[in-house]
Amino acid sequence: MKMKELTSKNKHGKGRNCVITRRATFSASHQYWLPELSADDNSQSFGGCAFAPGHGHNYELIVSMAGQLNENGMVLNLSDVKHAIKKEVSSQLNFRFINQTWPEFDISKRSGSLPTTEALSRVIWMRLESKLPLIALRLYEEPSLWADYLGNDMEAFLTIRKHFAAAHRLAREELSQIENENIYGKCARTHGHGHNYLIDITVRGIIQERSGMICDLSSLQKIVEDLVIEPFDHTFLNKDIPHFKNCVPTAENIALHIADILKDPINNIGANLHKVHLQESPNNAAVIYAETPLLDNLNMVNIQ
């Protein structure tokens, strides 16, 4: 949904376009089990998530809405927003088994799907869209796994967060130490320095009607672990990763190299790599997009 550019009608902001967010939480359980599959196939497909009687999460929901400021300086009355989300979502799901709570996740019916993070975010949108001027939903299943839904039919985004520790030195071999220090400062010191990197891998795809998944989550996790985390963790990037012997391992270059590594393998499991967000420190981060940055074209406030 593209938002129109609006001009101010008065000094108080009436008539200006604005995006607001509301956070809500609920605790719920779910199970990944398809009756048309054997017990072995369910176990192989969904791992521990297939085990009865299911497992639970503390979900966090971020609802983004857009509109014009009214004479009260608000887009919407936040009390109305709070009650709409509570009535339509959190009060219905809190301390419930999702498979048996909402009919969309009744897997005994052929139209039912598994209550994955991405499928649940879509159904939440469907229940809120007539009540609130939605532009985006983000649903955290846990701090290292979340989905974004923008109202585009069956399309959704899924993000996994990983961690690795590595050292690097920022310097160009053709330059002198003084020249490198003029460009990179302390980061050019001879023996390098280290970071605890956080990496968010966001993929985009179509939610499958039965599995509720964009792609197989365990396969996605394995690709990132095998191709990035295991090779990069506890290394001196300049010396241990061949790519960085002739490429300065800035946060930007690291994120770009990771995107290049992951793009084709992720495509092979049925999804598209959307972006790589690499947090080098609390003060530094880089984002590389592998395709048009749809998530961040909404002029949303930062909901990360």
CA distances in angstroms from 226 to 112, 156, 181, 187, 230, listed in the order given: 33, 25, 35, 28, 6
The whole-number average pLDDT for the span 263-267 is 98
One-letter amino acid of 261: I
pLDDT of res. 5: 36
pLDDT-derived band at 301, boundaries 50, 70, 90: very low
Which DSSP string corresponds to 135-158?
EEEEEEEETTEEEEE-S-TTEEEE
CB-CB contact of 6 with 14 (8 Å): no
Q: Which residue among the candidates 60, 155, 181, 187 is catalytic per the annotation?
A: 187
Q: Which residue among the candidates 88, 104, 141, 280 is catalytic per the annotation?
A: 280
pLDDT of res. 118: 98
CA–CA dist 170, 301 (Å, integer): 32
Q: Is 173 a catalytic residue?
A: no
Residue 302 has pLDDT above 90, yes or no: no
Tell me: the pLDDT tens digits for 19-50? 999 999 999 999 999 999 999 999 998 999 99
Q: Give the residue, 292 or 258, on which the prediction is more confident.
A: 258
CB-CB contact of 214 with 271 (8 Å): yes
pLDDT-derived band at 298, boundaries 50, 70, 90: low
CATH class of segment(s) 152-304 = alpha beta
CB-CB contact of 192 with 238 (8 Å): yes
What residues are paired with 263 via a beta bridge? Answer: none
Residue 14 has pLDDT above 80, yes or no: no
CA–CA dist 197, 193 (Å, integer): 13
pLDDT-derived band at 17, boundaries 50, 70, 90: confident
Q: Which residue among the candidates 55, 230, 234, 291 is catalytic per the annotation?
A: 234
What is the distance of C-alpha 124 from the center of its chain?
17
Q: 1-151 — its CATH code? A: 3.30.479.10
Q: Is 5 a catalytic residue?
A: no
The whole-number average pLDDT for the span 113-118 is 97
SS3 283: coil
Angle between helical axes of 217-224 and 251-268 (0-180°, round to 10):
140
CA–CA dist 43, 23 (Å, integer): 34
Tell me: the pLDDT tens digits for 183-218? 999 999 999 999 999 999 999 999 999 999 999 999
pLDDT of res. 152: 95
Domain with CATH 3.30.479.10 in the chain: 1-151, 152-304
pLDDT of res. 8: 34
The whole-number average pLDDT for the span 164-181 is 97
The whole-number average pLDDT for the span 8-13 is 43
DSSP state of 229: I
Residue 279's nearest CA partner among 150, 141, 159 is: 159
Least confident interval from 2-6, 144-148, 184-188: 2-6
SS3 260: helix
Contacts of range 30-37, beta carbons closer than 8 Å, 24 or more positions apart:
30/54, 30/55, 30/56, 30/57, 30/97, 30/98, 30/99, 30/105, 30/114, 30/115, 31/55, 31/97, 31/99, 32/114, 32/116, 33/107, 33/114, 34/107, 34/114, 34/210, 34/211, 35/107, 35/108
Q: Is 234 a catalytic residue?
A: yes
Residue 10 has pLDDT above 90, yes or no: no
pLDDT-derived band at 294, boundaries 50, 70, 90: confident
The whole-number average pLDDT for the span 59-63 is 98
